[in-house]
Amino acid sequence: MAKKKRDFLDTVIKFPIDLIPKEEEQAGQIPFPLEIISGPAGKFVDAFSGILEAPRQFWYMAYLTCLGSIVADKLTWDTALDVQPRLYTVLLGESAYSRKSTAIKVTAKFFGLHPGFYTVGGCGSGESLGATLQEERMVLLCYDELKSLIDKSSSNQTLLNAVHILFDNNTYENRVLDSKRSIRVENGYLSLLAASTTHTFKTLFDAKHVDLGFCNRLFLVPGKSKKKNPIPGQVSADEVEDVFISLFESFESAVTKLRSMDRFQNNRYEYHITDDADERFGKWYREEWPKELCAGRLENYGLRLMLLLAFNDGKGEIDLETVEKTIKLLNWQLKVRRLCHPVVAAGAAAKTMEQILRQLEDEADGITRGILARNVGVSHYGWGYFNTAIKWLLTEGFIVEYTRRNKPCYKKK
């Protein structure tokens, strides 16, 4: 017993839990392609990120999500695919410090100036969501904590089922014997903007959600805030007006160009892709887009994002610049998903094993024990589960242990 106690104390002394950064720091280190930010969205990002602490990618993706909700029934492609610029966006970051909620609230308030924008701060059931969509048609569903939406599915599965199906559809129906509880949505356009801590997101879903593909319907945006001012000032009324005017000018510019090209069909503006842009996106689709779990629906998000980026820049067609921006965003999203994709396993030890293997996947030279422990979130699961996972993976031959600069390291076998 005394020896076990000494071993445990030695482990804690070598790898102090207090010095282990949280998972959010690692996720926030994936550099967002800031060079793609332009147009009215860029003005919005500059105005609000200058005084508030939320990272620029939070403002940008929150803006695109709200914009997509407004133009959901107005923009599409001139193809057989009925693509709509609606996004299901989840901001990821450390609780209280990454300013996720700030970005959501401020952006929603800004777009509230537009008469076609409607947001609801959560729904208690699929019936209430259906009733809201029947009244307003285009709805942005906001959740300060994504966990509250997922938790409701345990007692009321109709809500999550409706959100799941309405990602690709504008109709949803769920008939039951009690006619008052039956749901029928026609011509509804749902968007989602939510927040979550990275650790909560990784452990929030079970195999059912992953198998259904719900996780791949979410566009994940990790970020880390920087301290600026404990008492921030206000964005001036002139700046807000300038951003809002630029939004309408971009709208008018795109609409004018689309009408001149005779792209107005069935009460919607149909975007066409140029030949060089089509060739570039086709190359990404056939050769660069990996067929793996984390890459699911990225091609669909690419089509949605191209509509938004072209519209935001006041363009009347999808050109090569728009495609290159979109590909940068999709490649970034793939890296984020590989790191933040939910860990589906039975028990903390199994989840720790899964995260260890995921961390070692692309590390040919291996990772030191301390860094590996930090990256898999040992401060959440505990050293007991981490040590058990390492021992089992070594015994079964999944990983190997070696020493580098007197430090224990691990890599996949």
Range of the domain at 309: 31-340
Same domain flag for 294 and 405? no
pLDDT at residue 48 greater than cutoff 80: yes
Q: Are residues 110 and 254 in the same domain?
A: yes
Radius of gyration of the chain measured on its C-alpha atoms: 23
CA gap 164, 158 in Å, rounded: 10
Looking at the structure, do residues 334 and 381 belong to the same domain, yes or no? no
Point out the domain boundary residue: 298, 319, 340.
340
Whether 14 and 76 map to the same domain: the answer is no
On whether both 172 and 245 belong to a single domain, the answer is yes
Predicted pLDDT of residue 205: 77
- pLDDT tens-place string over residues 324-382: 999 999 999 999 988 887 766 556 667 778 778 878 877 778 888 888 888 777 776 67
Pairwise CA distance, residues 149 & 158, whole Å: 11
* Rounded mean pLDDT, 310-320: 93
Quote the Cα angle for 53-141-337, to 5°.
Answer: 65
pLDDT tens profile 52-67: 878 999 999 999 999 9
Which of 319, 340, 361 delimits the end of a domain?
340
Question: Are residues 40 and 166 both part of a single domain?
Answer: yes
Q: What is the DSSP letter of 142?
A: E
Domain boundary among 297, 313, 340: 340
What pTM value is reported for the model?
0.79
Question: From its phi and psi, is residue 188 left (phi > 0), alpha (psi between -120 and 50) or beta?
Answer: beta
State both tokens at 203.
């452990």
Number of domain units in the chain: 2
